[in-house]
Structure 1
Amino acid sequence: MRIHSLSIENFRGIERLSLEGLPDTGVIVIHGDNEQGKSTILDALHAVLYEKHGGRSGKVRAWQPVGRDVSPTVSVTATIGPVTFSITKNWLKAPKVELHITAPQRDPFTGGPAEEKLAEIISRYLDRDLAQTLFMRQGDLDAGIAAVGISSVTRALDGVSEDGDSGTEDTALSAAVEKEYARYFTTKGAARELREAQRAYEDAVEEHAAATHAQAELTGHVDRHDKITVRQEAAMADLPSAEADEKDHADKARLAAQAQEKASALRRDLHLASEALQRAEAAVTRRGELNAAVAAAESALAAHTAGLAEAQERQELEKQQLEQLGAQLERAQQAQEDALERLRAARRAQRLVTDASRRSTLSTQLSAVRELSAKITQARAATAGRVVDDADVRAVEDATSELVLAQRLRAQAAARLEITGPAGTSLTVDGETVALDASIELSDGTELVIGDITARYRAGHAEVSGVDPVVAADKTLRDLLDRLDLPDLDAVRAARDTHRRATEDLAGLLRERTTLLAGEDEDALEAELARLVTDLAEVQVPELDVAAAALAVEEAEDAREQAAADVGRVDRELTPWRERRAENTLTALSVRIEEAEERLHQAQEAVESAAADSDDASLVQAVQSATAARDEVAELCRLADEEVVAADPELAADLYRGAQARLESVRDIIVRSGEDLAELKGYIRQAQGAAERLDKAVSALEAAEHRLDSVTRRAEAVKLLRETLHRHRAEARARYAQPFAEQLTRLARPVFGPDVEFGLSDQLQVTQRSIGADTVPLADLSGGAKEQLAILTRFAIAQLTALDTGDGQVPVPVIVDDALGSTDPSRLQLMATLFSRMGDAGQVIVLTCVPQRYERVSGRTEYAIEELKMGE
């Protein structure tokens, strides 16, 4: 498809636009400010190709300009396949359509036939999906185009397949297979027919299993009835023996329990006797601990009292050092304060001296600046008014040369009148007195006056035709001099030289003023000088120079630093004594002596209190009595334990429980057997007819199995066919994915580098971009990279579909609406080379508000939208 011309009237915001004589190849840049209708051009092109002229949808009504009762009209002249035509459509108020085919043969159409013929041409020669893909609208950064869904791309990829096999799918066969597949399967599993056959088979299997189970239950009930009858008779025969065995083991378990109870009572008595012995022994141990505590308290008190005198001497020494060093610190701190006050006074004097020096410097500097400013004002006045530059001089020189040349040429070609006469005789030529013996140049209208005779020369028609070059050149020169308000060329040159000298003088003065200011602002310097004058007006400035003031500050700082060092030294010397270690040690020792005295007093009172209750001999006698009582109970406990071992109460109890369990089991078997026999009789009566039910279930299962097998074989066959088609389609797509990837990579290398690669899905959608070892998913790319890749993908599709297919088709134009806004300058240059290459083979139409993005595109054709919108 190629677009030759496009005309738009009353379409949204465009009142009239005409785009004529578009080149068949190359990049066409249509530029203009925002809201000027660039995107509307793309909408109008789509409307004239695809929208019926009688449409009245909301989308169509939106095309009518606001506030005007007019019909949106679009006309386009284009070539689609071998057909060249012009189509004009009106919508809404006066809907109509006119189609004029001019090649391969002329044929006009109007109304419905025109719409049908246009649709036939488009459907036959233009892939609508391809056109929508290559018409890239504003903001469309979708680089992941499913190229497989575009039939033109599929055909193009088939054409470059290495093995020649076609990847084009048989849609009719695929649709039939999918329809048959949907008869048996859905996305969630089996479809209705297959599901019903499966359910019928499952129901038959379930009924067959139930009937089989019922028949098996009947047989089992009869067998179980016989077994339970035998078990009941055996239990009734074993009942007397079980009852006698239970009574014998009950007696033995009772005697063993009595022996164990006696042994337990004796063990409790032994525990009480042992506790009494432990209490007596603990009393003896406690008496010894109390005596030892008195001795330890006396020893500790003596040890603490021995160091008291030395601690008191150290505390007194510490007190003296604190007093002496504290006085030294106070003297050093006072010296430091004096030094600080001296430093503050020196700094105040230095600041006043510095400000006075700065005031003098600024006063001198600003006085010189003011003189230069006055000179600059005079120089600017000299350069004001009309500026005469070299271009003006050259223009006047050229006009003067043209006038001289025209005069000479006319003098050579003009007719001349030679007049002679007596000496002193004169005549008048065009109002000027001329002496005789002169040669007079004649031109149309030349007037000669000789005495009372007037002669006027009239040239023939051949001589007076056209404009006189001398007059024209003289008028040009006069116009230039009048515009400059100067009389002649010398005056123009003098004015130029005067302005040039004044300009140079002004530049020199400005440079001198800039140097004098040294990068500072004059107003800021004036303000600083005013502040210094005010600050120093009522202040007595010391009679020092700046260096002497700085030296005084330096000496004061040295004195302050020395005083601070003295304070730090004395403070550091005082630091250990501030901890008052000797005082703290004396206090701690006094506390320990008081605690030792208290502990000795308490220990002595405890010993006296214990001795009052019982003496040491009584405690020893109590231990001996408790030992004898415990030994006696221990012997009785040993004899009882021997009786328990002989009786073995645990074994006797276990044997008794076993006899009880046997008796209960025999009695339970008798009772449960009677209940089971009664229940089985009921089941046997209910199970009548189980054999007949089983025969019917077998027949129904065979029928359901046959139906399921038939439906399953058909379902599996269509499933296999569908899987085979899908496998072959995937293999075909894999074969022709390589040409698309190669085309895209070839276009992308100038932009992203030589090692760029792309990941593609089975639909030929770009999923990721790799540069070297770095791989980035499409969604994570920057806005600029997505924008570039969107254009590159469309260029790749356009180049693939532009391959010569032999059917007379021409490539679909690539239309880009306001792209590359996020692309940096270096990549703009690279993208420009790709646009140039694409323009070599087909049309690339760019709609943009920034034409400078495409200034590096070679061979481009530019249109300003304001110039295209005629009548606005």
Structure 2
Amino acid sequence: MRLRRLKVEQLRQFRQPFVMDDLQPGLNLIHGPNESGKSTLVRAIRAAFFERYRTSSVDDLRPWGDSAAAPTITLDFDAQHKSWHLVKSFLQRKRCDLTIDSTSYTEDEAEEKLAELLGFQFSAKGVSKPEHWGVPGLLWVEQGTGQNIEQAVEHAGEHLKSALNSLVGEVASTGGDELIEQVKARWSELFTPTGKPSGDYQRLEKEREVHQQEIDELQARIQKYQEQVDRLGKLTQDYERTQHERPWEEVERQLEQTKERYRQVQKLEQQQAQEKETLTHLQNNQQLLRQNQEQLWSLNKKLEVRKAELDKAQRELEQAEARSPATASSIKAAKTAYEAAAKQLEQARLQDIRSRLEQDIRRLEQQNQTLTQNLEKARQYQQELEQAREQSRQNQIDSREVKVLKNTEHQLKEERIRSQTIATRLTWQLEPGARLALNEEPLEGQGERQLLEESSLVITGVGTLGITPGGEDLASTRRKLSALEQSLTEQMTTLGVDSVQQAEYRVAAHEAAERTLRHSRELLGSVAPVGIDQLLADQKETESELQKAKAQLQNSPAPEPGQQAQVTDVASAEAKRTQAETRLAEAEAEERKHQTELLTRRQTRDNAESEWYQLQDEVQNPEHQKQLQKLSAELAGIEDKRVRLEATLQAREQEIIEARPSILKQDIERYQRSISNLRQTQEERQRELRDIQVRLEAWGAEGLEEQCNEKVAELEKCHRRYQELHRRAQALNLLLTLLTEKRQALTRRLQAPLQKHLNHYLSLLFPQATLEVDEHLRPGTFSRGTELGQIAELSFGAREQMGLISRLAYADLLREAGRPTLVILDDTLVHSDTDRLEDMKRILFDAANRHQILLFTCHPEKWSDLGVAPRDILAMKEQACSAPG
């Protein structure tokens, strides 16, 4: 198969027609950067063959944002020694046309011819999928899928096997298949498809496992019974020995001794705590007495300090009294300034009131003048409005009826013109004095008449001539003309006019009156938005406010004489008054502070004087010395008691430490727990003895050994039956293996042609390596020297290379069987290193001798030595855009 020409239009980025022709029978290298359209062209070829023309699931072919597009693909190719021409359109213009030499096919029939040629099938519904692509799906490699070959081979498997059978004959269709199927049928009676036992074989195996499990359980119970018997003997011996020795009684005796020692220590701790409280009390009394002693000793010092404080308070009082005149003068000046500022503010406010009243009077006078003018205009506009309304009413006429009247007049004129063209024309030119009579109407001189009806012409002295107008349409014209004249008369009567011109005049007058009416309303609304009555009320209210403002101005007191020159604005006057008020408040605060200071200084002086006199009397009192002597004696006695008590506390503390009360407390807890544990252990032995005795009695009644013997006999019986089926299963397995090996030998014979082509390409890429195909013709085991593994275990780049040479081998096989081939590679081998890529170029060049290969790439520099001239998609696009038409 050779693709000669490809044309796409309205397909993805190719909105305008794009043609790629002169494709060579061997290698074709097509390159362009990303998003230049390479994958789009591959998609177009796939859509032309794989997609149903009537499908609606190919929106991906539509140019972005163009819902009216009809993607169209045209292909010209050679196959089976014939010329094929395919045109397929999708979406908005669904069509499929195929021409093979001179024979044409359309729609479904054309698509079936394509599927039959290349070996694929169409999707029953929706877009086509890989499982439908068959041979093209194997040979046409999409971007990034070169390494995935297993499923592609599976989808094309039937076509490949058909090609192989046509080469080597139906070697697989032997009688051995029937024998294998019979053995598989017998084998399937014993095994599942996955090779696991089934039926009686599975049931016997499970029964054997159940019997063995039951025997194991019985044997375990028998062993447990024997263990329980041994345990019963040991527990009985331990229980009787412990019951005789009663070890918890010795622990109870030790517990009572320890509790007694702990009680003695507690008494010592109580005595220690009481004497510590006594010592604390003595220390507190000693501290109080010392404080009293120090206080008495400090009276002389306090007397001197109080004398100094008294002198200082007297000096500070005299200084404060000296500042009193200045403070009084300051507050007097502040009050005078505040009263002047308040008077000025009052005059400024009076002047401000009068100024606002004068402004209101001027504003109200202007407003009253404006309202008076608007009222006069409103009355004028109202009069014009009434006149326009009356004019509109007088000339009111239905404009639509007038249009109908004009139309009727127009039709009448046209009909009269038409009647004149078909009427009989009578012209005359008489001698002076000669007369004629047309329908009793005298004629003289010269003239012309058009006759539509039968008429008589009387010639004096000659006779009467009858004139009958002819023509097929004359009668209908007369009727139509009469009807139009009657309709025109009736319409003018209905409208109350004498002519069409009068009706048009009334329409124009009515429209002019309506415009005047709207204009008058707008003018009236501009001067009286809510009506003349409201405007009149506003004007009266403004006059009232004006009179009221004048009366307020007249009654408002004027500034005092001599003050007008000093009057400033209210804000300045208020600022000055505020400033004066602040200074007054500061002076008053300073005066209050001064008075407070005087009172404080005087009170301090008086207090210091009183304390000095009191301390002086106290120091000079004879009882003072006596108190000092008494305090000294009391302090000596308390010190002696304290020393003796501290010695006693220290000795007792040492005794408590040596007794270690915390350890005694722990011993008590330990003895209590030991007693509880000993008693609980003995009780648990007793309970376990009862439980074991009851359990042994129950097990002895079950006859465990007899049950075990019966289960062993059942197991032996089941085992014999299982062995019979097991030997049969092994025999069937062996027979099936031998038959399968024989079948595989026949399969290898069938695969030989494919293996030949595969080895040809593999030797170019991996010398001394082998690649085997399985019974489904999929490449599987790969070996090279000592290396052995599956193709799926190779690196990504190696799998991509193996996938490509496998596809080329399939193409050789198909070509050898006489099937058409076309290889399409979209950005393949991008993961190959330099050396491997060089080997793959040799392989592609070799394969191009037998197949047409379309290689799309965005790295043309890597393929510059492929031996073919590259084709630039961008250059082809520019040529398509610059082409005429």
Taking structure 2 as the reference length, the TM-score comes to 0.43
| Bigger relative contact order, structure 1 or 2 (CA pairs below 8 A, ≥6 apart) | 1
Q: Normalised by the size of structure 1, how large is the TM-score?
A: 0.44
